[in-house]
Amino acid sequence: MITVSLDAMGGDEGPAVVIPGAAKALERYPDVRFIIYGIESQCLPILERFPKLQAASRFEACEIAVRMDDKPSQALRKGRWRSSMWKSIEAVKTGEADVCVSAGNTGALMAMSKFCLRTMANIERPAIAAIWPTLKGESIVLDVGATVGADAQQLIDFSVMGAAMARALFGVKRPTVGLLNIGVEEIKGQEEVKEAGRLLREAKFLDLDYHGFVEGDDLGKGIVDVVVTEGFAGNIALKTAEGTARQIASYLKSAMSRTWRAKIGYIFARDAFQRLKEKMDPRRGNGGVFLGLNGIVIKSHGGTDVEGFAAAVEVGLDMARNDLRKKIEADLNLYHARRAPALARAGAAL
């Protein structure tokens, strides 16, 4: 049985989306249990409308909610120990919950997660990993917004963590990894990306296959299991893909209702269009995973709806069932244990 702690006050709509979203996830996974943290006067009237969720949950009242426009420093100063966001993260630290899900302020959630859970050994920066739909199935893209900028070693750490996640979720023994760049040629791109590519090519002791550089239009092709980038470019890529999916869906809807012939054609092709709609629905990919922490935290989009939040909860369930944190920790320990002799040999040669 997996227990999920929920920050009910997170997101643009707060408990009006979080609680029905949890109820929808419970319908699909009846064995899940919830600890819901929020302001009592706002949460309990909504929770009472979902008796099955109420029976499978424990509600914990909190004093304050972290606002979507709070700076991380403000959120830590005001919300530490008292807010629904902090308490939902702390439940993972104490072992009461297996995973935390929040649609709250990304910067505040990352700051609180780092402060409460701490980063894994040898990890300087956590990353947010997204599960990305592709023509071949799914791939993992990170970082999609945890931090801006990354040096070569941090990009390698992201590669190791992403490969561990791919092994856990996709069952791939040696995941393929690519670095997102402005071209596939080795001479292109920022120095940090080129250096990371060189180190990945030379690191024969990694349990992954380095593919090389990949471009933005390769993200949807599924040519690699893991795409690695820094948070600024990754977040732009994610938001661009989601916006493009909505744009195409809008175009199709408009085209199918323009003439009576188009409407008749839609009736005959309804099943195909429904499958296309499901494939292109950005809510299905909602839920970024914080990697590199001593605990699992899932970040849902702040503006998501009930279906999208349910999807984020389901991502958290997948991570917990696959024991992702321990697998990433084991891979990182193995990587650094193998890396130390290689560094020593390089130092001796110099």
**pLDDT, position 140:** 92
pLDDT at residue 238, rounded to an integer: 82
Tell me, what's the pLDDT at 148? 84
Spatial separation of the C-alpha atoms in residues 35 and 14, rounded to whole Å:
15
**C-alpha span between 324 and 220 (Å, rounded):** 24
**Which pTM value belongs to this model?**
0.84
How many whole angstroms from its chain centre is CA 316? 9
10-residue mean pLDDT profile of the chain (350 residues): values are 94 94 95 95 95 95 90 87 94 95 92 92 87 86 86 90 88 91 84 90 81 89 92 86 77 75 69 62 73 92 90 91 86 78 56
Instruction: Write the CA distances from 309 to 22, 105, 161, 234, 284, integer angstroms.
Output: 7, 15, 24, 21, 9
- The residue to which tokens 């699909």 are assigned: 28
d(CA 157, CA 179): 12
Q: Which pLDDT score, from 0 to 100, does residue 272 have?
A: 64
Contact partners, residue 154, CB within 8 Å, separation at least 6: 124, 125, 230
